Amino acid sequence: MSSLRLAAATAAALGFAMSAAAQPNFDEIEISSVDLGDGLHMLVGAGGNIGLLVGADGVLMVDDQFAPLSDKIAAKIEELAGTGGVRFVLNTHHHGDHNGGNENFVARGATVVAHENVRTRLMSPSTSPTGAVNPPRPPDAWPVVTFADSVTFHMNGQTVHAIHVANAHTDGDTIVRFEEADVIHMGDTLNWNSYPRIDGNANGSLAGFINAAETALAHADADTRIIPGHGSTAPLGTADLAAYRDMLVAARDLLAPAAANPEAVDEVVAADPLASLNSRWGGGSVTPEAFVRSVVAPPP
């Protein structure tokens, strides 16, 4: 891996937690793609991984990364679909590394669809888990079609189920199941090789993360491909998602005694209750300490 690709991969892994100063050099980011068959592709650049469905009925895109990458993403779509236009953009949640390009794709004719809480959060200032306050997004970035529980697209031979999973990474998360292609896009309810990023300022929770993984696993079989929000440039398998779910459950059980006493969070962190999990999961973008604090002492 060249230093450039390493930098891009690191930036992608950091995702929305990046400060402006730490954002990638977008001029150097390249958009790569993995062909999943049936008109479905996984696009990787910087920010959340994109799911792209192309065909005669038009283009459906799950997430659109950062605004400065929109022209490159559109060029990749043109290469794969024969058109740079997008019919639908589906946002998995409100963080800007997944929907920063909304207004740019609206300008290219797209209709933005998302859970109703995504629209509410994009219309208001929001506080990231790192404490950064983001201003409201411009009206063109706001979803114009919203749903409370689920919505289904019927395009290009695919039945595409957008399923809301409550209070996981945020309170607006959607996982997307491409039924015939047997692919599930997890958004940021799955950041591979990392502890979960629980956005407590947006009502995220560990219980919700576990529910999101269980919901996806209920629709998965041995051949299902899983697209994570971050942490892998290729799709994962059902066994990977099950391992992630097992980590979440183990962490919940290890932290349960401490979660009843948030005032003692400093002592809990010092006791390193996740020591048995850290070698596998603690080296990612969410440190063991950050994860413990997000579970034991979430924002009020």
Q: Which residues bind Zn ion (CB under 5 A)?
A: 15-16, 48, 95, 97, 188, 229
Of the two residues 204 and 273, which places its CB atom closer to Zn ion in the complex?
A: 204
What minimum distance in Å lies between the beta carbon of 232 and Zn ion?
13
259: tokens are 């979660």
Of the two residues 101 and 229, which places its CB atom closer to Zn ion in the complex?
A: 229
Of the two residues 15 and 235, which places its CB atom closer to Zn ion in the complex?
A: 15
Strands (E) in the chain, as ranges, are 32-37, 40-44, 50-53, 60-62, 88-90, 111-115, 126-127, 133-134, 145-147, 150-155, 158-164, 174-178, 183-185, 225-227, 236-237
Handedness of CA 69, 70, 75, 80 (dihedral sign): positive
- Between β-strands 60-62 and 88-90, what pairing exists: parallel, antiparallel or unpaired? parallel
What minimum distance in Å lies between the beta carbon of 237 and Zn ion?
21
Q: Which of 64, 68, 75, 72 is nearest to 25 (CA)?
A: 68
What minimum distance in Å lies between the beta carbon of 92 and Zn ion?
8
What minimum distance in Å lies between the beta carbon of 9 and Zn ion?
14
Contacts of 275 (CB under 8 A, 6+ apart): none
Of the two residues 18 and 247, which places its CB atom closer to Zn ion in the complex?
A: 18
What minimum distance in Å lies between the beta carbon of 242 and Zn ion?
22
What minimum distance in Å lies between the beta carbon of 159 and Zn ion?
26
Of the two residues 286 and 295, which places its CB atom closer to Zn ion in the complex?
A: 286
Enter the DSSP assignment of 222: T
Handedness of CA 199, 200, 202, 205 (dihedral sign): positive
Enter the DSSP assignment of 27: G
Of the two residues 228 and 288, which places its CB atom closer to Zn ion in the complex?
A: 228
